[in-house]
């Protein structure tokens, strides 16, 4: 007799266990297990795996916050590069031409 056959269902003590749930390690009869994604799961573990997150609104706000930070970072970088370009425009053209070092001009 196998070890699994000697076990009893956790929900129906009068029935033999035919499967072990890999999530909770409980032993269950045929009525208590369901195949999901190639595994036999008990009803409680199946409900945990397929349940929608309770904090869906919080996750949505978290994604919105990340997007806002990304947009703010891009705008900040654009302002920095624009400011740097404006600074470069204020440098006299002699520096760009390489004639600033010549004496007497």
Between CA 56 and CA 45 the distance in angstroms is: 20
Mean pLDDT by 10 residues, the chain (105 residues): 70 87 87 84 83 74 95 98 95 78 65
**Pairing of β 19-20 and β 33-36:** unpaired
pLDDT of residue 2: 58
pLDDT for 79 equals 99
What is the model's pLDDT at position 63?
A: 92
Which residue carries 């031409």 as its tokens? Answer: 97
Among candidates 7, 50, 1, which has minimal Cα distance to 25?
7
DSSP state of 96: H
The continuous run of DSSP H or E covering 71 comes out as helix 56-90
The per-residue pLDDT for 45 is 85
pTM reported for the whole predicted model: 0.44
The tokens for 69 are 């930070």
Place of tokens 């929608």: 52
Domain residue limits, the chain: 3-50, 57-97
Residue found by looking up tokens 């573990």 in the block: 45
């Amino acid at each position: 007799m196998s070890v699994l056959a000697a076990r009893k269902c956790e929900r129906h003590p009068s029935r033999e266990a035919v499967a072990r749930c890999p999530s909770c390690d409980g032993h269950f009869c045929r009525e208590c297990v369901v195949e999901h994604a190639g595994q036999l799961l008990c009803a409680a573990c199946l409900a945990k795996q397929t349940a929608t997150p309770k904090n869906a609104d919080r996750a949505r706000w978290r994604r919105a916050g990340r997007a806002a930070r990304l947009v703010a970072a891009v705008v900040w970088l654009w302002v920095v590069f624009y400011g740097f370009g404006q600074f470069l425009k204020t440098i006299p053209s002699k520096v760009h031409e390489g004639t600033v070092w010549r004496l007497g001009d």
